[in-house]
């Protein structure tokens, strides 16, 4: 793949690179600049722009292209505006410069996750409007803050607001993952994030003594039980070629805290875990399991949740779901191979599905290594442009899905 010189750059690519340069990086994203950028896009496209401040300083921006039949539910195209932090010294190029190399790869934080998709939605809508199309269903593009830290000041609050209900979303698209093969990944459900901090208390004392019942000894037992469970799930995934990553439960030990000095046995220590619980797991039973691992390690062990999602939902991927039928038909017509899976990570789709909106997670990036949250996150401009093309085909089909039984 070769790229054109800068003077010939495709305007959609130029716009993408402009958006990538806005520093919406956690933990202090410049949301003001992103909202101003989106307001300008709305003006250029002739779309209405609504700003909903779901918490002080946290604005959800909604760009709306009205459909011809306002009695029908709408299509919601969601993307988050924030990006995760970088370790700049490991990058080949400044992650906020949107450098494009001679082959056409654009390096930037957010190139895959998920500023590409925001611009692809906008550019697909622009093209369709310029061509004079109109569709029965309204298309809303929502640009939400806070996803990368859990969505608690973003989509989680937005779905509870009257402004959200007024959108009357019938179906939603949000982010997926790149696929290194020729195929495209599409997510119909996701694992539930459970962030668990286990705190162990025990007898303190002098570091030279054989103290019994220490916090560390008991915490070690809990860590061992949880890592044994991790190994079991890993083996289950490895031994069954039909299972994809999202179908088993994962866990990582991500933090260890405690202790004050080499020679002081601490009275308390804690371990933090990032569990991603598969959607078919009985969550009550799973919480009991957590309790029993803690109890088995001794007295004085408690746990608390930093994140605990308990409403996993599955969006059907058969023709009983007219949205899936429309989505998959377009992909078939375009000769795109789809790999339907459960998303291993968490996205704002979980909030949408939980309030009854069927939703798919889709990032139109094939032949692309998965580089989200990684160093040198990048996307080839040709893949980006092909994505605009794909949405240009998807949107007419989705926005023309005939009235559902519930809508007539």
Residue 113, contacted partner among Zn ion, ligand MET, none, CB below 5-8 A by kind:
Zn ion
Residues forming contacts to Zn ion in the complex (CB under 5 A) are 113-114, 175
Say if residues 377 and 110 touch (Cβ distance below 8 Å): yes
Sites for ligand MET among residues 81-100 (CB under 6 A) = none
174 is catalytic: no
Q: What is the nearest approach in angstroms of ligand MET to the Cβ of residue 19?
A: 19
Q: How far apart are CA 358 and CA 341, in angstroms?
A: 15
Report residue 95 as tokens. 């992650």
From the CB of residue 292, how many other CB atoms can be counted at a distance below 10 Å?
11
Residue 346, contacted partner among ligand MET, Zn ion, none, CB below 5-8 A by kind:
ligand MET
Q: Is 76 left (phi over 0), alpha (psi -120 to 50) or beta?
A: beta
DSSP for 252-293, written as a single string: EEEEEEE-S-TTEE-SEEEEEEEEEE-TTS-HHHHHHHHHHH
Q: Please tell me which residue in 113, 147, 174, 175 is annotated as part of the active site.
A: 147
Nearer to Zn ion, 104 or 110 (CB): 110
Sites for ligand MET among residues 283-342 (CB under 6 A) = 307
Output DSSP code: residue 147. Answer: G
- The residue with tokens 């310029």 is 130
Report residue 164 as tokens. 């959200």
Nearer to ligand MET, 139 or 346 (CB): 346
Q: How far apart are CA 259 and CA 271, in angstroms?
A: 12
* Contact pick of 148, 174, 341, 381 for ligand MET (by CB under 6 A): 148
By CB under 6 A, residue 175 contacts ligand MET: no
Q: Nearest 5°: phi and psi at 166?
A: -65, -20
Q: Which residues lie closer than 8 Å to 166 by C-beta, 6 or more apart?
A: none
Residue 345, contacted partner among Zn ion, ligand MET, none, CB below 5-8 A by kind:
ligand MET
Q: What is the nearest approach in angstroms of ligand MET to the Cβ of residue 82?
A: 10
Residue 307, contacted partner among Zn ion, ligand MET, none, CB below 5-8 A by kind:
ligand MET
By CB under 6 A, residue 268 contacts ligand MET: no
By CB under 6 A, residue 193 contacts ligand MET: yes
Residues that bind ligand MET (CB under 6 A): 148, 150, 193, 307, 345-347
């Amino acid at each position: 793949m070769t790229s054109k010189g800068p003077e010939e750059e495709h305007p959609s690519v130029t716009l993408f690179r402009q958006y990538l340069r806005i520093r919406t990086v956690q933990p202090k994203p410049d949301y003001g600049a992103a909202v101003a950028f989106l307001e300008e896009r709305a003006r250029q496209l002739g779309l209405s722009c609504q700003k909903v401040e779901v918490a002080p300083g946290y604005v959800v921006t909604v760009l709306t292209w009205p459909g011809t039949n306002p009695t029908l539910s709408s299509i919601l195209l969601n993307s988050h505006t924030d990006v995760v932090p970088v370790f700049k010294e490991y990058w080949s190029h400044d992650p906020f410069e949107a450098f494009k190399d001679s082959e056409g790869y654009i390096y930037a934080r957010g190139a895959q996750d998920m500023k590409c998709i925001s611009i692809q939605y906008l550019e697909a809508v622009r093209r369709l409007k310029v061509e004079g199309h109109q569709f029965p269903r309204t298309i809303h593009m929502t640009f939400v803050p806070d996803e990368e830290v859990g969505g608690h000041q973003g989509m989680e609050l937005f779905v509870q607001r009257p402004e959200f209900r007024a959108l009357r979303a019938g179906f939603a698209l949000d982010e997926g993952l790149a696929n290194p093969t020729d195929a495209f990944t599409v997510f119909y459900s996701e694992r539930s994030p459970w962030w668990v901090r286990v705190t162990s208390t025990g007898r303190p004392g002098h570091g030279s003594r054989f103290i019994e019942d220490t916090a560390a000894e008991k915490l070690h037992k809990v860590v061992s039980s949880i890592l044994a469970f991790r190994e079991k799930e890993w083996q289950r995934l490895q031994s069954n070629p039909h299972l994809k990553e999202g179908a088993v439960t994962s866990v990582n030990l991500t933090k260890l805290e405690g202790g004050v000095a080499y020679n002081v046995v601490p009275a308390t220590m804690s371990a933090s875990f990032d569990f991603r619980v598969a959607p078919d797991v009985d969550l009550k039973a799973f919480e009991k399991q957590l309790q029993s691992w803690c109890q088995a390690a001794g007295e004085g062990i408690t746990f608390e949740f930093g994140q605990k999602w308990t409403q996993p939902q599955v969006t059907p991927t058969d023709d009983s779901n007219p949205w899936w039928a429309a989505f998959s038909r377009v992909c078939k017509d375009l000769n795109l191979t789809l790999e339907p899976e459960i998303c291993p990570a968490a996205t704002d789709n979980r909030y949408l599905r939980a309030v009854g909106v069927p939703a798919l997670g889709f990032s139109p990036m094939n032949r692309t290594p998965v580089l989200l949250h990684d160093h040198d996150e990048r996307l080839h401009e040709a893949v980006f442009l092909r994505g605009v093309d794909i949405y240009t085909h998807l949107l007419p089909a989705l926005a023309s899905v005939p009235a559902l039984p519930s809508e007539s």
